Amino acid sequence: MLGYAIRRGLQMILVLFFVSLLVFVFIKLAPGDPARLLAGMTATPDTVEIIRHEFGLDRPYYIQFARLLTGLFSGRLKSLTYRAPIRDLIIERARASIELGLVALLLTVIISIPFGVISALMRGRPLDYAISLVALVGISTPVFWLAIILMSVFGVQLGILPISGRGATIGGWSLATVDGVRHLIIPGVALAAIQLALNTRLTRSSMLEILNQDYLRTARAKGLKARIVIVKHAFRNAMLPVLTNVGIQIGGFLGGAVLTETVTAWPGLGRLMFEAISRRDEPLIIGLTLLSAFTAVFGYIVVDLLYALVDPRITYE
Amino acid sequence: MSKKTLIVFVLTVLLPGSGHLLRRRWKAGFCYVGLLLIEGVTALLAGQQGLLWGVWCSSRGEVVSSLLLYISIALTWTGALWSVCRRTKKKERASRGYWEHAVEKLSRDTKGITGGVIICVVILIAIFAPFYAIHDPIDMDFMHTLERPSALHLFGTDDYGRDLMSRIFFGSRVALGIGAGATLLNMVWGGLLGIIAGFYRNIVDSVIMRFLEVIGSVPYLILVIFIIGMFGSSVKMLIITLGIFGLAPARIIRSEVLSIRESDYITAAKASGAGDFYTIIRHIIPNSMAPLLVVTTMQIGVNIIIVAGLSFLGFGISPPTPSWGSMLQEAQQFIVVNPWLGLPPGIAIMLTVLGFNLVGDSLRDALDPTLGI
């Protein structure tokens, strides 16, 4: 188990190295000059040259790449536009994103699993059709539109929820204040929506598959109560694929956060990513892309390890 | 030729579908009549705007639209004539193939039919956008900005006084065009990777899988925004980027090929001396079509949402070209003044994607219910 974890960890480092290399290559291939962009339209060639030198953009590519990597880990690498170390920027913004991700995750798990199970147990009945239809509509709805509609209805028309920003915070956490929680509702729901719908569908299909298994028929045949059959025999086994999906959701939430945070002006990592790309802030882009790749790969590994804990049939050598 | 056959023939020449109805072939009859009705309305709308003779006037887009209209009318007529003259004796066969079975299952599934109708309507709108759109989608009118829905502007107008409905209609071209183009590339490129990885295994498989792992570790949206943001956006760029980096099909095809590879018929093919290329073309590809088809249908929906998201963030289609994503961006700015603005583009995206998801769902049920998508 430990050996497996270590091996996966090493693999992850390799993957992250290639991700950073890929991103670096793309940045260097792309047209445009970050130094000129930073200096502004009216800058003289000398100023551009100074800026280029200041950020080491005049060095050979392999040195730039090495400096980027070492700078990221030592925390000295600075953002071009914010003029602050990337590590500090990420830590500062991370709280907002973690909060948002947590709310979305909680909403997803609390709502999707019961609905998926109910839908599977009521297969073919009106309730099942209703839940399936809503879930299908859910995966077809763009998050940013959902956010706009929520903002328009609850923020502007009814005026009961704030439409943007984080509100009051204590120690950088919105969850600690009532005002902050109110600010969290719209972005949280928007971010959760697609995953919620996906997870409901997954729970349903996974439950249906298990319900058709022979051992469930056996369990019923030997006279077990329906509740016990469903909870102990079906539900537990059906949760395995759902667990995978939740893991992927946690790992990949930064992707969805870009849109949600940009629409609702939530000052988290997703919005930072948007700003970094719009302003062509190379070090920040690499840092954030690596972070998003890290969380995604880390999510996979954690899920794989959890599998061994949850399911005694699975062992890792 | 009997008298009735003659009547049926003449009727069909006059109005395709009526011959079928006389012969009590209701389904085909209503289909042809319906098709002709749609084409008639389209032609009427086109004629009203003086675009019906578009071949001799106006812009290239309108010429293509009117040509397609002529072609479709001609096809309806010849199709109806051909099918009504054909002998209608049904062939009963003892056994039916996998695909025939699937098609029959599909044609009974309300979910799939609903989705199919939605997709057809969107495609129709995309092709004949210049005919259905009463106003020019980029014509500004500063006297009538941010108007609420009215008889003249059914969906209202935006901040430049442009007709929202016309913009929605023309926006469907961007959404469908990029969505379909990118997905086609996904299918070919992802399918190729998946087949090669699954078929040759070992080193080739490892290399391709590691490549997929590296690409897949960055959330798709972030990767796409990054590349489009860096290299600038154009329709071509969007199709290529989404096409190359949307690698979901590759994994699924690979696992499918891995299992097909172990089948007895592949061993038999090899034993009788079939080469790799022949085996792939003749056996692997036809047998891995089902999951590829399901994934592709769903991928179109994903790509449409991604394109809209990119345009929404300002990385996609640049104004004034109408696209649903950038329309939503404008809607957000005027959320207080005119909340109506955000409704039509969002519903357009949602319905289109829903159409593809419905068809995908029903395809999966018909072709391969065990596929865990």
Can you spell out the DSSP letters for B46-92?
HHHTT-TTGGGSS-HHHHHHHHHHHHHHHHHHHHHHHHHHS--PPPP
| Mean pLDDT for the stretch of residues A165-179 | 75
- Alpha-carbon B138 to chain mean position: 25
Is A88 a residue whose pLDDT tops 90? no
What pLDDT is attached to residue A115? 94
3-state class (DSSP) for residue B275:
coil
3-state class (DSSP) for residue A78:
strand
**Portion 326-355 of B in contact with A at CB < 8 A:** 328, 331-332, 335-336, 339, 342-343, 345-346, 349-351, 353-354
What pLDDT is attached to residue A265? 87
**Portion 146-165 of A in contact with B at CB < 8 A:** 148-149, 151-152, 155-157, 163
Q: Which of B182, B305, B312 minimizes the C-alpha distance to A274?
A: B312
| pLDDT tens-digit series, residues A6-21 | 888 888 888 889 988 8
In this complex, is the C-beta atom of A172 within 8 Å of any C-beta atom belonging to chain B? no
**Portion 109-138 of A in contact with B at CB < 8 A:** 136-137
ipTM here = 0.87
In this complex, is the C-beta atom of B168 within 8 Å of any C-beta atom belonging to chain A? no
Q: Do the chains contact at A142 and B232, CB–CB below 8 Å?
A: no
What pLDDT is attached to residue B57? 54
CA distance B337 to chain A (A): 10
Q: Please, what are the averages of pLDDT over each run of 10 residues along chain B (373 residues)?
A: 79 81 81 85 78 60 78 86 70 64 80 90 87 76 75 75 84 90 91 88 85 87 87 86 87 86 86 86 85 86 91 81 86 82 90 93 78 51
Q: Do the chains contact at B226 and A26, CB–CB below 8 Å?
A: yes
Separation between Cα atoms, residue B20 and residue B16, nearest integer Å: 8
What pLDDT is attached to residue B1? 61
In this complex, is the C-beta atom of B369 within 8 Å of any C-beta atom belonging to chain A? no
Mean pLDDT for all residues in chain B: 82
Q: According to the CATH classification, is domain A93-310 in 1.10.3720.10?
A: yes
Strand partners for A78: A85
Q: Do the chains contact at B350 and A142, CB–CB below 8 Å?
A: yes
Alpha helix (H) ranges present in chain B? 3-14, 18-22, 26-48, 60-85, 98-108, 110-127, 129-132, 164-185, 191-200, 202-217, 220-231, 235-245, 248-261, 264-271, 276-279, 285-287, 289-313, 324-333, 343-367
Q: Which of B349, B340, B357 minimizes the C-alpha distance to B312?
A: B349
Separation between Cα atoms, residue B52 and residue B65, nearest integer Å: 9
Buried/exposed code over A102-125 (b: 16+ C-beta within 10 A; e: otherwise)? ebbbebbbeebbebbbbbbbeeee
| Domains in chain A: boundaries | 2-74, 93-310
Is A209 a residue whose pLDDT tops 70? yes
What pLDDT is attached to residue B287? 84
Global pTM value: 0.87
Which residues lie closer than 8 Å to A186 by C-beta, 6 or more apart?
A147, A150, A151, A154, A155, A161, A162, A163, A264
Cis status, amide bond into B322, omega within 30 of 0: no
CB A166 within 8 A of CB A96: yes
Locate A311 and state its tokens: 């399911």
CA distance B130 to chain A (A): 26
Instruction: Name the more confident of B65 and A136.
Output: A136
* Furthest C-alpha separation in chain A: 86
In this complex, is the C-beta atom of B199 within 8 Å of any C-beta atom belonging to chain A? no
